[in-house]
Amino acid sequence: MNVLVLLSTYNGEKFLREQLDSILSQKDVNVFLMVRDDGSTDQTCELLKEYAGNYPNITWEASENIGFARSFSQLLEMALASHIDVDYYAFVDQDDVWLPYKLKVACDELSQLDNSHPLLFSSNSLLADENLNPLGLFHPIEPYRTKENVMLYPTEQGCSMVFNRKTIERYLEHPPVVTWHDRWLCLICNFFGEMRYCQTPLFYYRIHGNNALGKVNATLWQRLWGDIKLLVMPQASKNLSMIKEFYEVWGASLDETTRGKIETYIHYPQSYRNKLKLIFCQEYQHSHSLLDRCRKAILVLSNKL
């Protein structure tokens, strides 16, 4: 199997070498790496130049700073226009470390599915500190996997995603306006294709001072404080805005049952019946955790989910 890995870098010299080595050391797959540097001011570009000079399967370009979401969108455009013959594509972050069979596991899963529609594989990860000392699992308990659940909760880590060409083609029909690239890809495969998930961790997800998304494993009090701030914000939830955008773009292409599932969510602020569905119906649940369910109920009743 041939896999094209897409990497957006920005001032990542501290951990980048270790990540590049883990990508190049993947077992039983042929790896190609395409990198777009998003305006780094440290030694990241020099490091990329070094690796590209030593490995013909690495291509890279230095570009202006546009933010990681738009940078990855440009990488998807570059990947689709590329003449590299690949079976699948993968996202990667600059500061993680992959286990040797990460891509092989993903390819084996995806190869069993119908490649004529969008496909997405994601996996669990092992949280780690700067020195890769394990801190626990990103998902200690496997999350529910229903269309409704995936719509409500960003359970898939973008840096774990492996997907096919049909996914990129659909993405580039309407790139997202109000959300991130990986969340949009996840919705496309959730509603138009198939998704597979592996609870076994396949990479180290490094948490450090410069990693804003490292707060995903925040303490209970940090999560509660985040929810309090969310409740007092005047604007609607970003997730709701994203689903509304998705429905406006592709709602007419979906079957009636699927449209109804999405409409239950996008109209819930005006409907107590819909609020009760979101709170109590099993398919909209994230986990068995009583804390999660109570937290969700508060967000739903406050129109902040």
Q: What is the SS3 assignment for the chain?
A: CEEEEEEEECCCHHHHHHHHHHHHCCCCCEEEEEEEEECCCCCHHHHHHHHHHHCCCEEEEEECCCCHHHHHHHHHHHHHHCCCCCCEEEEECCCCEECCCHHHHHHHHHCCCCCCCCEEEEEEEEEECCCCCEEEECCCCCCCCCHHHHHHCCCCCHHHCEECHHHHHHHHHCCCCCCCHHHHHHHHHHHHCEEEEEEEEEEEEECCCCCHHHHHHCCHHHHHHHHHHHHHCCCCCHHHHHHHHHHHHHHHHCCHHHHHHHHHHHCHHHCHHHHHHHHHCHHHCCCCCHHHHHHHHHHHHCCCC
Please report the pLDDT score of residue 263 as a whole number: 96
Please report the pLDDT score of residue 217 as a whole number: 46
Please report the pLDDT score of residue 290 as a whole number: 81
Please report the pLDDT score of residue 178 as a whole number: 79
37 secondary structure, DSSP code: E
Are 44 and 37 in contact by the 8 Å Cβ rule? The answer is yes
Cα distance between residue 237 and residue 90, in whole Å: 28
Q: Which residues of the chain have pLDDT under 70?
A: 209-236
Report the topology of domain 2-215. Spore Coat Polysaccharide Biosynthesis Protein SpsA; Chain A (3.90.550)
Cα distance between residue 113 and residue 135, in whole Å: 34
CATH 3.90.550.10 domain range(s) in the chain: 2-215
Cα distance between residue 286 and residue 262, in whole Å: 16
> What are 223-266's pLDDT values in tens digits?
556 666 555 555 557 899 999 999 999 999 999 999 999 999 99
Locus of tokens 């396949």: 202
Please report the pLDDT score of residue 212 as a whole number: 42
Please report the pLDDT score of residue 256 as a whole number: 95
Are 298 and 227 in contact by the 8 Å Cβ rule? The answer is yes
Cα distance between residue 245 and residue 20, in whole Å: 35
Please report the pLDDT score of residue 230 as a whole number: 56
Please report the pLDDT score of residue 179 as a whole number: 81
Are 200 and 124 in contact by the 8 Å Cβ rule? The answer is yes
- Residue 199 sits at φ, ψ, to 5 deg, of -70, -25
Please report the pLDDT score of residue 226 as a whole number: 61
